[in-house]
Every structure is written in C-alpha cells, then in structure tokens.
Amino acid sequence: MNWPQLSALLNAFAHTEPGRMIATLASISIAAILWRISKKRARLSSSSMLDVEHRRGNLVLAKNLIIGATLLAVGSIWATKIAGAALSLAAVAGAVLIVSKEFLSNVLGSAMLAISRPYRVGDFIEMGEATGRVLDTDLLVTTIAETLEGHQLTGRTAVLPNSLLLTHPVKNLTATGAYVINLLSIAVIPSEDLLALEKTLLKAAREVCFPWLADADHHLKQLESRDLVNLPSAEPRVLMELNHAHEATLVLRYSCRPNDRVKVEQAILRAFLQQRCVVAGRQHRDARALAEAA
C-alpha cells in the first residue's frame, strides 16, 4: 500500500465515529500533558526571577490557552455532527428551560461544582446566608451540617440548591486543608497596657499551638509551592485595632486543624486569662510593696 492510499484510508477512518472518538481522546490527552508540563515548569521557576503572583498569572494564561485550543480541536473534529444536532439541541434546551428553569439552574450549578471544585465533602463553607460543613453533594443540591461561629455544629442540616453557585459567592473556610488559619478578636480598654496584653496573648497562643506549629508551617509552605499562592505563616501573630476612644481590639491569628478550632480557641482564651491574672497579681503585689516601703 502506497502513501496516497494510506492517507486516503486514514482520512476516511477519521470521518467515522470511532475515528472521531480516538481523535477527541488524543486531543484531551495532549491537553492534559501540556497542562501538567506547564504546572511543573511554573513550580520549578526561580522565585528570584518571577514572584508567585506573576507565575500564577502565567499558569492561568497557559491553562486558558490549552483549554481554548482543545475546545477548538474537539469542535473541528465534531463540526459536522454539531451542525446537524444544533437545531434539535436548541429545541430541547428551550423546552427544558420553559418546563423547569430551576432544574436547569441546579444542573448548571452542578456542572460548575464539578469543573471548578470550590468545595468538597468535609469542607466548612459559607454560601448565601448558610454556613456549615459539607455532608453530601448531588446533581441538584448540596447538604451541609449547619454551624455557628467557631464551627460549632447546631445539630441541624441545611439543603442548598446548586443554583446558588451561579448567583452567590462561596467561601471555603477550610480551603487550606489539614491546617487552617483562624482569627480570634479580644476587646480591651485602650487605657490598659496594650503592649503587655499583646505579649501575654502571644505567649498563650504559642503555648497552646506549639505541638503542631512546625507541621502547620510545613503544610502551608507546601500549599504555597503547589498552588502558587501567598499564605500567612503558621506562627501566631497579633494585630491591634484602635476602633474608638472607648475600645481597642487585639486580633490573634493562629493555626490549627479545622475540627479543633473551638477547642484551641477556648484553650488560648483560658491561658490568656490565667496569665493576665498572674501579671495583674504580680503588679498588685509590687504596688503594695512600694506603698509599704514608702
């Protein structure tokens, strides 16, 4: 068999259903390989030459180009079939839209969930006015165990239509996985020694969080390298907010496992109060000693 005959045979096979399927699978496989190569190159890029945000921007651009080229290739492969089915699909879509707009919105929301994966089972999320831990997802709804502040379970469940993904922002409160960053706000009187209170709160947080600080910091650094994002350190930090003349706020940033947030928060508060009482008692004794000496 000479080359013209082989070329004609391959061309005829490419226009058959098996030929189109093989060509489609080949296009998707090539796209997946290119995407993995792009991610690997972005991770291995020297941080001294390109910062994290720049590398992430290049990676997003590469992803969009790969997706666009793959869609163009697949569309070209199935062009004749698409043209023939377009009218029928339009009629079916119109009928579905008329019969059940909400059903179609939920299906589109499920498609968005499958593609973008904003959350998974076990994550704590906030969507609309509901906050809770994801228990189940299906074609139409997401079921969550409702929680209050601090991830405290209420014992109730909430069923959220997947159409909310199309109209409401979703906050994944445990997006960093094994260890999460939490904030604890403590209101104090501005006339108090804020620097001393800051040291006391930091000491309490470090004592409570010390057993897992190294693991949490390693985990967050791995996420930075893998996902090309800037994440805070696992080391406890305190920020001061002078809201007005009668109130100040110490905001503690600390790390812990998602399921231990309430326990760790309470442990930090108790350690802070105990150490504050110790300091206050020492100051009171020193003041009394000075008064007696005078």
Q: Which fold has domain 180-293?
A: Alpha-Beta Plaits (3.30.70)
pLDDT beyond 50 at 273: yes
What does the pLDDT read at residue 137?
87
What pTM, to 2 d.p., does this model score? Answer: 0.66
Residues 6 or more apart whose Cβ sits within 8 Å of residue 132: 124, 125, 144, 145, 146, 147, 157, 158
Residues 6 or more apart in contact with residue 27 via CB below 8 angstroms: 70, 73, 74, 77
Q: How many CB atoms lie within 10 A of CB 3?
A: 7
Q: The domain 115-172: what is its CATH number?
A: 2.30.30.60
Boundaries of every domain in the chain: 3-99, 115-172, 180-293
pLDDT in tens, 15-51: 677 777 888 888 888 888 988 888 888 777 655 444 6
pLDDT at 86: 55
Tell me the per-residue pLDDT of 64-96, one tens digit each, with 9 for 90 and over.
888 888 888 888 877 766 655 555 666 556 655
pLDDT of residue 283: 61
Average pLDDT over every residue of 124-130: 88
Residue 49 and residue 87 in contact, taking contact as beta carbons nearer than 8 Å: no
Cross-strand bridge partners of residue 183: 253
Q: Which of the four pLDDT bands, split at 50, 70 and 90, describes residue 236?
A: very high
